[in-house]
Structure 1
Amino acid sequence: MTAIGFIGLGVMGGPMAANLVKAGFDVTGFNRSPAKVERLVAAGGRGATSAAEAVEGADVVVTMLPDSPDIEAVLLGGSGKGDDGVLARLAPGTVVVDMSTIRPDVARSLAAAGAERGIGVLDAPVSGGEQGAVDATLSVMVGGEAATFDTARPVLDAVGRTIVHVGPAGAGQTVKAANQLIVGGTLQLVSEALVFLDAHGVDRSRAVEVLAGGLAGSAVLDRKAPAMLARNFDPGFRVDLHHKDLGIVTAAAREAGVAIPLGALVATLMASLRAQGHGDLDHGALLLQVEQLSGRADD
């Protein structure tokens, strides 16, 4: 039985780790919140009191953490050189699958640090939200060595439905940045369309139904519009996290010398929504800002 050390049992990581247990893997998980570790134990996994304990004897280590500094601290340790982090505790041949959404350049540096120790490191961010994590239907975009990808494939198959090796180290994070650019832009346009329809007195539910069947249809419209119409902004993916991701997009675009005028505007609008105190809401709350800008916040 493949032993997996899983670090980060939050909204996404928790159900992903539970699905690995269901698939027959021996999963030991760690999270700074003990309650989340207890949920994994209740699902049949093992609990650890530290990241070091979680990865002891692991064949594969999976990380699902909020941001680049978090994953660097866990894998490389406080020194940033890898001497006191998780990488230093792993045996050569171990595979690390980082499923967080981080900067592409950080993913490349982590892969290089792993290679120095004979450890394969994949950047494998996901798309599909909390429900996709629960249903094990995530889309997983993977960067790294092809041989390492092949080794980790059974683990990835247990948490996702669409798994694609997109290129060398950092490529997975680059594709995820593009994903967040598209999702953020589409959410903004869906928000504007809903306010536009409402201003003209159109039944928005019926409008969304027909729009979804045409060229305007998308997974974003299908999954997000019903909750937006119901004004349910319980987070499937928080504004805070999408704000962080769009920061990755704009920085990577600047580094490559690529113009993303619409993406830059969406990043500004997401930052504004967060500054208004809505960081804990679902990113579909962009609707609230369009309503405010249109003078229809109380309608």
Structure 2
Amino acid sequence: MSTIGFIGLGIMGRPMATNLIMAGYDVIGYDHSPARYEALRQVGGQIADGVVELVQKSEIVISMVRDSADVEAVALGEQGVLANARPGQLYIDMSSISPQTARQVAEAGKTFGVRVLDAPVSGGEAAAVEGDLSIMVGGEADDFAAARPVFDVVGRTIVHVGPHGAGQTVKAANQLIVAGTIELVAEAIVFLEAYGVDTEAAVKVLAGGLAGNRVLDRKAAGMLARQFQPGFRIDLHHKDMGILTSAAREAGVVIPLGSAVAQLIAALKAQGDGGLDHSALLKLVEQLSGRSAR
């Protein structure tokens, strides 16, 4: 088993690192917030004083951080992953960032002889805990094969989707579909409630037909109960929709529905709800419908 350095121990990173430890890997963690260290120690993880130490003590380095700027800060520069890695070392960024940044990091990796993969994930906190993530991977096929045993621990649907940056492009498409689906589920729930329908029964039958989807399976119960504890925060989905709309504009692709949902997410963030789960789109549908939130 390899020693894995894991950078970023937040909502997604902590359970992923934990699952790697449970699978027998030695894991060394690092996070900008030391308050997150105790949870890793409790399951047998080690802690590094910084990125340089983490890289030097690891065979494989994984980062799961907030955005493109954080990846650049972690990966590039004299104190970053690439400058301190050994030739041939594998660096896997599993954050959700812009395809352009992913390609930039991969190009920088070539300068240092470091193998780089962009491998963003989908499924939210529940799938991270269960080791059931969907992982879309960009990079060289040989590097994907080398990383596959690690991916098999934290995910179930694992696909090499193309060259560097392709993983992030597919993730942007994923976030478009997820945002649109959550918005439609939110609208359906408010519509059903306006007519006094038994919403739990309605969700059950909807989930069994053509309208069935993972949002209904994983999010509907919390939406009905107005429980929006973050599995994936509005702040982060706002960031991802920015990546999507920018990439779509660059490619000359029109996304009218996606752009509308991006504005709804931006509105929730502007109202101070950025820390809520993205299923809180339901709150905005209620507002727009003139219905009091429960």
Superposition TM-score, scaled by structure 1 size: 0.97
Any conservation in 2 of the 1:37–1:48 contact (CA below 8 Å)? Answer: no
Are 2:100 and 1:110 aligned?
no
Are 2:198 and 1:218 aligned?
no
Report the CA distance between 1:50 and its aligned residue. Answer: 1.0
The letter for the 2-side match of 1:76 is L
From 150, 158, 161, give the equivalent of 1:163: 158
Are 2:8 and 1:8 aligned?
yes
Give the alignment of 1:12-27 within 5 angstroms. Answer: 12-27=12-27
From 90, 93, 116, give the equivalent of 1:95: 90
Query: Partner of 1:71 in structure 2?
Result: 71
Query: Partner of 2:42 in structure 1?
Result: 42
Q: Number of aligned residue pairs: give it.
A: 294
Query: Partner of 2:190 in structure 1?
Result: 195
Hey, what's the Cα distance between the residues in 1 that align with 2:37 and 2:53? 13
- Tell me the secondary structure at the aligned position of residue 158 of structure 1: helix
Any conservation in 1 of the 2:51–2:79 contact (CA below 8 Å)? Answer: no
- Percent of aligned pairs with the same residue? 64
CA 1:22–1:258 in 2, change beyond 3 Å: closer, same or farther?
A: same
- Tell me the secondary structure at the aligned position of residue 5 of structure 2: strand
Are 2:233 and 1:238 aligned?
yes
Hey, what's the Cα distance between the residues in 2 that align with 1:30 and 1:18? 13
Query: Partner of 2:170 in structure 1?
Result: 175
Hey, what's the Cα distance between the residues in 2 that align with 1:185 and 1:101? 18
Hey, what's the Cα distance between the residues in 2 that align with 1:149 and 1:288? 41
Hey, what's the Cα distance between the residues in 2 that align with 1:39 and 1:115? 35
Are 2:250 and 1:252 aligned?
no
The letter for the 1-side match of 2:30 is F
Hey, what's the Cα distance between the residues in 2 that align with 1:86 and 1:168? 21
Are 2:277 and 1:288 aligned?
no
Report the CA distance between 1:38 and its aligned residue. Answer: 2.0
Any conservation in 1 of the 2:106–2:117 contact (CA below 8 Å)? Answer: yes
The Cα offsets for residues 262-290 of structure 1, whole Å up to 9 and x where unpaired, read as 00000000000110110000001000000
Query: Partner of 2:58 in structure 1?
Result: 58
The letter for the 2-side match of 1:287 is L
Any conservation in 2 of the 1:6–1:55 contact (CA below 8 Å)? Answer: no
Hey, what's the Cα distance between the residues in 1 that align with 2:36 and 2:293? 38
The letter for the 1-side match of 2:76 is L
Hey, what's the Cα distance between the residues in 2 that align with 1:298 and 1:45? 42
From 132, 137, 142, give the equivalent of 1:137: 132
Hey, what's the Cα distance between the residues in 2 that align with 1:67 and 1:235? 17
Any conservation in 2 of the 1:157–1:163 contact (CA below 8 Å)? Answer: yes
Hey, what's the Cα distance between the residues in 2 that align with 1:57 and 1:292? 52
RMSD between aligned alpha carbons? Answer: 0.9
- Tell me the secondary structure at the aligned position of residue 62 of structure 1: strand
Return 5+ residue gaps in structure 1 as ranges. Answer: 78-82
Report the CA distance between 1:54 and its aligned residue. Answer: 1.4
Hey, what's the Cα distance between the residues in 1 that align with 2:293 and 2:20? 45
Structure 1 stretches (4+) deviating beyond 6 angstroms? none
Report the CA distance between 1:298 and its aligned residue. Answer: 4.3
The Cα offsets for residues 151-179 of structure 1, whole Å up to 9 and x where unpaired, read as 11111111111111010000000000000
Any conservation in 2 of the 1:28–1:55 contact (CA below 8 Å)? Answer: no
Hey, what's the Cα distance between the residues in 2 that align with 1:36 and 1:48? 13
Query: Partner of 1:80 in structure 2?
Result: none
Query: Partner of 1:209 in structure 2?
Result: 204
Hey, what's the Cα distance between the residues in 1 that align with 2:35 and 2:284? 34
Any conservation in 2 of the 1:108–1:170 contact (CA below 8 Å)? Answer: yes
Are 2:285 and 1:274 aligned?
no
Any conservation in 1 of the 2:90–2:114 contact (CA below 8 Å)? Answer: yes
- Tell me the secondary structure at the aligned position of residue 6 of structure 1: strand
The letter for the 1-side match of 2:218 is R
Hey, what's the Cα distance between the residues in 2 that align with 1:145 and 1:86? 19
- Bigger CA drift: 51-60 or 242-251? 51-60
Are 2:148 and 1:153 aligned?
yes
